[in-house]
Structure 1
């Protein structure tokens, strides 16, 4: 594994998550010599599949779990043997003994469900208009993610809908939601897409909620959140195969400790986990699939404030799906889409206020889905035949600050409160449906933001590495100049330039979620960083 100090690579990639693998595959296919260094024993980062429970043959997508922002272009360009499957049910939201089922395949059924919940069709009609608007924006914006960054004015012209632009890009999303919808439950279902991985509220003047919402509704040009066939690890395994097949060298158990650059040549130091020895390699360009916070540390530059994640991730295996209090809906429908728990509009605001004040919310909001209903291949045939199913729960408004004083105690408290909210809409306790592992323990694991930081390097547990950015250039002329100049005093954490991946150091690029147009399982930053390097080399 030891490489001589004078070894020369066209590119060294720091981090073997999915974006680093995308960049490696593109650069190697273009004939560049590529070395990828990954801290963990295997590639994949947060996009992996794991047998999480002892003696149980279920391959859970342990961290990230759905695909929305992955362009078909990347799959085709790299020749990946990977597929996703659309969920027929969009969502189910229980409310007392009834609920709202949104069936992506059956508009008439969805209309009936709105009438069942609200007593009228007013909000259904508003729903149709609202998501027709977001679909229009998705069709216009999504293709730009793998193109050079547009300016704000260029993107506004491309959207070509002043009302949609005003609603999504200019005004706090809460104003639009409250104007469009009357029912509190319906408002909450809409708002949740603005809160995934983002600790904020409907009327935040910074518009963090709008940026998060935008990325959640533009994926694929449709806004669909799809199930990765074979689990998320199937995607990153396919990427690793593509990178290796193209000639990239991948070294695992290699933790990068520093990057030194003069803007033309860089030296990357890493520690070999097997031997404890430190090695240094040279490269023309370095692509960093880590957070801007981590990048600053590697470069010895001032670190930005640590981001703060705000979620509880829970993986479960059930012997069978639980019965619902709402007897009109089949659990196989309810859990096939996104199952919203304690996510009414007012509930979301109350939970935010309580968490912002430093306490575990009384009614923690969460959303759940069952991968195995759409893709049973993640279970062994024997396990699937028993009626077993996976459940993935993503809890909102669980900021890292809550866990600082007592990480494990707070996690237990939050988990208990979250599952109590789920039990309140079930006709039987969830605990009665949990499978047990080979040691007789319930098949349930919970991850706090602090766990995510420790295990997969997400700073503060922030799943997007930092707050999401608008998908346009903030100040293109100044940004391009900064990219070319680099040098002392440059803010290396502020992604800039033609592709939104520059760092101010002329040969160091962000290729992870913290780049402009980063976040989610997309491969977009990896693609864009590779494009930036290839253009630079011309």
Structure 2
């Protein structure tokens, strides 16, 4: 099917480049709350603040809202989810509270979920592949190609992991335990703060006598856990990709099990574990949240970069200074920027404790990710599951397509390359084709492809820089590998957009290029996110809160940090603690 991409051009959804509103507003000089950054968490925070009667304004430095959850037309006629690209982790309460369907969010559900083609010489036969979805019997049939034993064990494994998900899930919707209040507050404060222990106690009850086994899942290398359950490498590696995606770690890294868990805790419209594509791209998720916030009365402005947080002589946040020198006064400030950017660039250092600055500086934000967005004039044609004559999408085109995922040692080797400062010679590739379900993002017959690849270090070996030559060399390596699985892919390419870790930092403000605002390692979760003494969204500056993915419960398009931070800020406002 032929695609004439240049005959289609869809403009951005923006009504004005200065304000996201049907009726242009004038930025005021005083609000109850200023939110720095219009990423999805900042927008969620604005919505909840406004619903609580706190007059809120969102100030976004770019021309488009959404942060990493954004839709951009990089190549004429193709709308890309330029950074984040899948929806599942958005908290159900936020989905319902903010009435996102009413505000235009439409989701295309994916089933099956994953497709792992295998590069192999199968004695003259077509190479095998592993396709997993919601049908248990079909999953077992697929797995049995590689191991009958694993096919029998798989339903029990899923039940085991789902129990852990059920235990941890409630922890995502509340601030971590307030250790300081429990140990240092007045007697009444201590008693009240003990209520924050309830989610932890409930989690322990859910896990019951199997708590030691689940503790091992959270702390051990995911390779150890998967080896206990399965013997077939394609199955183990397919599952292991969720344990390392976005993380500068490998299956042999201790604690990688939690990252896997983080990616299987999703739910969409009541469907547990469901993943989907937002119609129009991930920017439409952010747009729906923004519309909900504005319907409540919040204001949202683009091209309004914040230069500094205003702190008065008593050490309280009193607003922000824009890049053009304009001062916006407020009773509180919530930052959707990363911990590094919030506290090392936006906040006056003389107002922060030296130890706090040191610990924020040590917050790990290393990233292995290079995102490549590709426009093609036809669907990839995989050797293991060939296309039909009509060239229309098949079920496996809907999936997360895992390439170079035949065995876990391939992921370990790719990780080792990056640890030496070299882009992986055989990178892990997660290929998604959202246009296989969503016809609005590419011209007829054409497709928009998302390549989430790793491992690529932020700093290259021997002082080399990520210049255009290095970026294209790595992208060529990625395309060469895709060609092995789907011959003809390279000749189908119309254009590509390459975002290395430094590019992700420059374009989206992701420190280190880290999609989670910081590593999701065990030493940077719950009590310790971003640092152990400030894990409850508050900061050493009274009235300054962290509402982005650098706060609990972390990254992904969840919205939980934004909602939780807003609720904590409203609580403080009612108690008049600043």
* TM-score bracket, shorter-length normalisation: 0.7 to 0.9
SS at structure 1 position matched to 2:549:
coil
SS at structure 1 position matched to 2:329:
strand
Pairing 1:251-330 to 2, within 5 Å after superposition: 251-261=301-311, 262-271=314-323, 277-296=324-343, 297-301=345-349, 302=357, 304-305=361-362, 307-327=365-385
Q: CA deviation at 1:287?
A: 0.4
Which of 481, 484, 491 is 1:432 aligned to?
491
Q: CA deviation at 1:143?
A: 3.2
1:333 paired with 2:380, answer no
Residue number in structure 1 paired with 2:36: 14
Which of 395, 402, 408 is 2:453 aligned to?
395
Q: CA deviation at 1:8?
A: 3.5
Q: CA deviation at 1:263?
A: 4.7
CA-to-aligned-CA distance 1:128-160 (integer Å, 9 cap, x gap): 222221222222322331134355565333443
Distance, in Å, in 2 between the alignment partners of 1:447 and 1:280 is 34
The answer (yes or no) to whether the contact 1:138–1:223 under 8 Å persists in 2 is no
Distance, in Å, in 1 between the alignment partners of 2:61 and 2:438 is 30
Larger displacement relative to structure 2 (500-509 or 217-226): 217-226
1:131 paired with 2:155, answer no
1:149 paired with 2:197, answer no
Residue number in structure 2 paired with 1:68: 88
Please give the TM-score of this superposition, normalised by the length of structure 1.
Answer: 0.86
The answer (yes or no) to whether the contact 1:311–1:398 under 8 Å persists in 2 is yes
Q: CA RMSD in A?
A: 2.4
Distance, in Å, in 1 between the alignment partners of 2:257 and 2:138 is 29
Q: CA deviation at 1:37?
A: 1.1
1:94 paired with 2:117, answer yes
The answer (yes or no) to whether the contact 2:167–2:202 under 8 Å persists in 1 is no
Distance, in Å, in 2 between the alignment partners of 1:64 and 1:17 is 11
1:406 paired with 2:465, answer yes
Stretches (4+) displaced over 6 A: 1-4, 328-331
Residue number in structure 2 paired with 1:462: 514
Distance, in Å, in 2 between the alignment partners of 1:68 and 1:422 is 26
Please give the TM-score of this superposition, normalised by the length of structure 2.
Answer: 0.80
CA-to-aligned-CA distance 1:443-496 (integer Å, 9 cap, x gap): 222211111111111111110110126697438xxx9xxxxxxxxxxxxx5376
Residue number in structure 2 paired with 1:422: 482
Q: CA deviation at 1:264?
A: 4.0
Q: CA deviation at 1:288?
A: 0.2
Distance, in Å, in 2 between the alignment partners of 1:429 and 1:341 is 16
Larger displacement relative to structure 2 (339-348 or 405-414): 405-414
Residue number in structure 2 paired with 1:113: 142
Residue number in structure 2 paired with 1:347: 410
Q: CA deviation at 1:419?
A: 1.4
The answer (yes or no) to whether the contact 2:525–2:554 under 8 Å persists in 1 is no
SS at structure 1 position matched to 2:128:
strand
Distance, in Å, in 2 between the alignment partners of 1:501 and 1:16 is 17
Pairing 1:377-526 to 2, within 5 Å after superposition: 377-379=440-442, 383-384=443-444, 387-402=445-460, 405-407=464-466, 408-426=468-486, 428-434=487-493, 442-468=494-520, 473-474=526-527, 494=531, 500-526=536-562
Q: CA deviation at 1:341?
A: 0.7
Distance, in Å, in 2 between the alignment partners of 1:537 and 1:127 is 49
Distance, in Å, in 2 between the alignment partners of 1:238 and 1:76 is 12
SS at structure 2 position matched to 1:250:
strand
Q: CA deviation at 1:101?
A: 3.0
The answer (yes or no) to whether the contact 2:479–2:490 under 8 Å persists in 1 is no
Residue number in structure 2 paired with 1:537: 573
Larger displacement relative to structure 2 (514-523 or 259-268): 259-268
Distance, in Å, in 2 between the alignment partners of 1:333 and 1:278 is 53
Residue number in structure 2 paired with 1:362: 425
1:184 paired with 2:213, answer no
Which of 66, 71, 91 is 1:49 aligned to?
71
Distance, in Å, in 1 between the alignment partners of 2:538 and 2:79 is 36
CA-to-aligned-CA distance 1:7-38 (integer Å, 9 cap, x gap): 43211100011110111111112111112111
CA-to-aligned-CA distance 1:93-142 (integer Å, 9 cap, x gap): 111242333342433332222222x1x32112232222221222222322
SS at structure 1 position matched to 2:553:
coil
The answer (yes or no) to whether the contact 1:3–1:279 under 8 Å persists in 2 is no
The answer (yes or no) to whether the contact 2:35–2:336 under 8 Å persists in 1 is yes
